Amino acid sequence: MLNMLGLLDRPTKGQIYFEGLDIAKLDDKELANLRNNKLGFVFQTFNLINRLTVLENIELPLIPKGIPRKIRVDMAREALMKAGGGESWLYKKPNQLSGGQQQRVAIARAIVGSPAVLLADEPTGNLDRASAKTVVETFLSLNKAGHTVIVVTHDPEVANCMEKIYVIRDGEIIGEFKPDKAEALINKE
């Protein structure tokens, strides 16, 4: 599902519209352009490049857009602060940070270009409870600031923090719920 929402895969049946455009009718270059300008991705495993600094990891998506270095640096700093990161992290390597800190760097990288939609795949799966709470609070803050945030999770505590919950079982949406009502269905075998 995230691959389709992220415009990486095309549906085998049905249609997906993004900003009024039928994605099946777009070529690969048009899809890549939409992904680069409208979507941000946050992964469970962070996908940071350890030979680059935190700053370089965050500014990476801005390079193909031709944004000058000084502006990229300012944008990366701002994104890291929005994601709950610290200024002192900028010149460290990702492997010098905790898991929760690395996830906030990954979030900063995802939001640095101000995407309309943020897609997060099990973003708290590798984190302790305190770090997971910080990451969830960051997503809620980003949502209040105008970003659409879609979080895929198996964690009922994370799901219950979200505004809407869609439960998917065996590839089908089996219901839409308000927080606190979905937990029993999520945990049901």
For 77-115, how does the pLDDT look when each residue is reduced to its tens digit (9 = 90+)? 999 998 889 999 999 999 999 999 999 999 999 999 999
Residue 67: CATH number of its domain: 3.40.50.300
Residue 8's domain spans which residues? 2-153
In a domain, 178, yes or no: no
In a domain, 124, yes or no: yes
In a domain, 126, yes or no: yes
In a domain, 182, yes or no: no
Phi, psi of 67, deg, nearest 5: -75, 130
In a domain, 173, yes or no: no
The per-residue pLDDT for 103 is: 93
pLDDT bucket at 55, cuts 50 / 70 / 90: very high
Please check the confidence at residue 26 and state whether its pLDDT lies above 50: yes
The per-residue pLDDT for 181 is: 53
Closest CA to 106 of 40, 36, 156: 40
Please check the confidence at residue 184 and state whether its pLDDT lies above 80: no
> How many structural domains compose the chain?
1
Using one digit for the tens of pLDDT, what is the confidence trace for 122-173? 998 888 888 888 889 989 988 998 889 999 999 988 999 998 999 999 888 8
In a domain, 138, yes or no: yes
Most confident region among 44-58, 133-147, 171-185 by mean pLDDT: 44-58
The per-residue pLDDT for 148 is: 93
Query: Are 65 and 113 spatial neighbours (Cβ–Cβ below 8 Å)?
Result: yes
In a domain, 101, yes or no: yes
3-state SS, 22-60, equals EHHHCCHHHHHHHHHHHEEEECCCCCCCCCCCHHHHHHH
Please check the confidence at residue 5 and state whether its pLDDT lies above 60: yes
In a domain, 189, yes or no: no
The per-residue pLDDT for 10 is: 86
